[in-house]
Amino acid sequence: MYDLAIIGAGWAGFNAALRAKKLGLKVCLIEGNQIGGTCLNRGCIPTKALIQSAKAYSLAKKISVFGIELENLHINFSKIQERKDKIVKLLGQGMQSRLVGIDFIKSYAKIVSLNEIKVADGIIKSKFILIAIGSEPAAIPGLAFDQEKVITSSDILSLTEIPQSLLIIGGGVIGCEFASLFSILGAQVTIAEKMSRLLPTEDREVSRKIEVIFKKKGIKVVTGVDRSSFDLEIYSKILVCVGRVPNTKGLGLENLGIELKNNSIVVDDYLKSSQDNIYAAGDCTAKVMLAHYAAYQGERAVDNMISSFKLKADHAVIPSCIFTDPEIASVGLNEDQALKAGLVIKVHKFDFLGSGMAHIMDETEGFIKVISDDTEQKIIGATIIGPKATELIATLSVAVRAHLKVSQVRDMIFAHPTLSESIRESLN
């Protein structure tokens, strides 16, 4: 019998397995598809690999700004895809190599009792079970995916050519990333969002800024509409990005007394399901569908299984990164959220037009916006749109997590000339 059986080798399950091994548990990791789950194979890694190629092309198109001349610049999309696939394969091999001491079982799984899991070769018994089976793209009623014209965020990663015209339904994180990517590569992109603005959960000012930038780049942005407003026949491809849903079907949960809500596994603050020995982590809990939070949940779930001192899975300070061009990142409360919570706040802001390094990089679009409470002057949130936003947010994540005051960050010495010194400038 195992101490712990983990179903799903995505970022939650994989990191949970490593934590369990470190703690000396006898653990197995069960996965019916590829190791790495959505993040490695159909999400974070392949999309960012494609985005990096697009950024390189974008830079090459304006390379004369830096005093360099290029001739015969063109896109070889098959090589872009080959590079992406090579990165995914390499990282998958790296993950596999780290599973020494963990039994990796390549099989689909079904939980048949509170301590038994059916796999291809028979029944596995385990004291604890961690469900980390992730999520899948949500569909729109009446618009079925056909993997040809109407496609998911997974399907689009396997395209063999750049679509001439692309309609993206959904103006959230995934939709905006693909709009930015394929616009740079030359597609005629239309992005539609039924809410009144793109990225409706982000800072309102950032949403307005990215919409203006998108329109400058030739992306058609339509908000406050649904799919019925479009003639779908005129587009080469239709990408549906309206969120993700937990992938819990077929696992046998309904027969085990495990509470579900909209197909997600209901867990308490310690990631325990309605059954004492069964925990869940990652997208299947529908808490925060981000790979880095899934990894955190997986590790925290393992700790709580074996420790008498339980730790809550805190989801108050989670950085969010959007790899558009320019990048967007946020942590903690944005301005609207802070005001809605009844807080008296101060807004600190710095435009990248004032950054020496931003001018050196020729990437001056955007700003840093930091929110502090007006009573104790503690930093409670931040949003960045601009160059390397997804890297810069780490400093402000530490500030929010550690309850640092404005003066504590402002009085730090940041290296010059760097983008990071813009954080200090925003607090002056």
Identified catalytic residue from 315, 359, 403, 416: 416
Active-site residue, 416 included: yes
Question: How large is the angle between the packed helices 44-61 and 173-184, nearest 10 degrees?
Answer: 40
Q: Return the H-helix or E-strand segment holding 89.
A: helix 77-97
For residue 301, the SS3 value is helix
94: its two tokens: 């790296």
Distances (CA, A) of 372 to 7, 209, 222, 314, 404: 41, 22, 33, 20, 10
Q: What DSSP state is assigned to residue 139?
A: P
The two three-digit tokens of residue 135, written as one number:
């999520």
Which of 22, 43, 18, 23 has the alpha carbon at shortest distance from 283? 43
Contact, 370 vs 426, CB < 8 A? Answer: yes
Residue 63 class from Cβ within 10 Å (0-12 exposed, 13-18 middle, 19+ buried)?
middle
- Contact indicator for 204, 336 with CB cutoff of 8 Å: yes
Residue given tokens 């760097």 in the structure block: 418
Q: Which of 219, 204, 413 is nearest to 325 (CA)?
A: 219
Q: Which residues are catalytic?
A: 416
